[in-house]
Amino acid sequence: MPQKNSIKTYVEDGYYHLYNRGVGKQDIYRDAEDYRVFLGILKDTLSDQVPTLKSYKKMMYQRKKFNGQIELLAHALIPNHFHLLVHQVVPRIIDQFMHSLGTRYSMYFNKKYKRNGSLFQGIYKASLISDEPYLLHLSRYIHRNSSPYVKDLKTAYSSYGEYLGIRKTEWIKPELILSFFQPGKYPFLKHINSYQNFVEYEHKKETPMEWYLDTSITLEDE
């Protein structure tokens, strides 16, 4: 039986939760440089800027650009897996994007740590997002995913800083999700006065948001 979200439905102008983990649940980021290189590949892939990572300069120029075809709304890098929330602008471009990302990072990782073989546990998983409330919840889930590893979510390897206005990153697009907090947009957010409060507040069962807060989102075998 196929793993959940391994069979993908591709929709033009669709929103997707993409994720993958290390083979055997091993870490895919072992130090700060590994996180920087993965983010550097995302930057190189999704923007027009020239790559600046000296340790990865040669491979970074063997690249395919996806700016204007894929938009990254949110991300979180955890020691043994990653989450990406993306908008697919061009039909079926996700496959090419994820293949490029996975291949380039695996080449860097295997060379650095003198290893061979697959880095990731099979092909990436992709979940099509069907409505805006679920899109909003997924951004919360992704940004909270770093909680066990950092004391302050603002210091995580994620896009949370962009959502709080701490950083401005051209290739990360928080605007759509932040627009949900405009007055009157969604009645269930009327008691939540900011995105930070939405993410960090421990919602109780009696709150009006409970109807859509799906706590069952996990990677397989988590």
Task: CATH number of the domain at 143, please.
Answer: 3.30.70.1290
- Please state which of the ranges 5-14, 25-34, 95-104, 119-128 shows the lowest mean pLDDT: 5-14
Supply the range of the domain harboring residue 26: 14-200
Residue 3 resides in a domain:
no
Kindly report, residue by residue over 4-57, the tens digit of the pLDDT.
555 567 788 899 999 999 999 999 999 999 999 999 999 999 987 655 555 455
Kindly report, residue by residue over 137-165, the tens digit of the pLDDT.
999 999 999 999 999 999 999 999 999 99
Residue 207 resides in a domain:
no
Instruction: Grade residue 91 by pLDDT with cuts at 50, 70 and 90.
Output: confident
Bigger pLDDT: 105 vs 3: 105
Residue 213 resides in a domain:
no
Q: For residue 206, is pLDDT > 60? A: no
**Is 150 within 8 Å of 76 (Cβ atoms)?**
no
Residue 7 resides in a domain:
no
Q: Indicate the burial class of 95 (C-beta count within 10 angstroms; 0-12, 13-18, 19 or more).
A: middle
Largest CA distance in the chain: 55
- pLDDT reported for residue 212: 47
Kindly report, residue by residue over 167-184, the tens digit of the pLDDT.
999 999 999 999 998 887
Percent of the chain scoring above 90 in pLDDT: 63
Residue 150 resides in a domain:
yes
Q: How far apart are CA 120 and CA 117, in angstroms?
A: 9
**Is 163 within 8 Å of 105 (Cβ atoms)?**
no
Residue 66 resides in a domain:
yes
DSSP 3-state assignment of 84? strand
Percent of the chain scoring above 70 in pLDDT: 80
Count structural domains, the chain: 1
**Is 174 within 8 Å of 163 (Cβ atoms)?**
yes
Q: Which two tokens stand for residue 216?
A: 């069952």
Residue 218 resides in a domain:
no
Residue 5 resides in a domain:
no
Nearest CA-CA partner of 28 in 15, 16, 41: 41
Q: CA-based angle 27:94:28, to the nearest 5?
A: 5
The residue with tokens 């939540």 is 192
**Is 72 within 8 Å of 84 (Cβ atoms)?**
yes
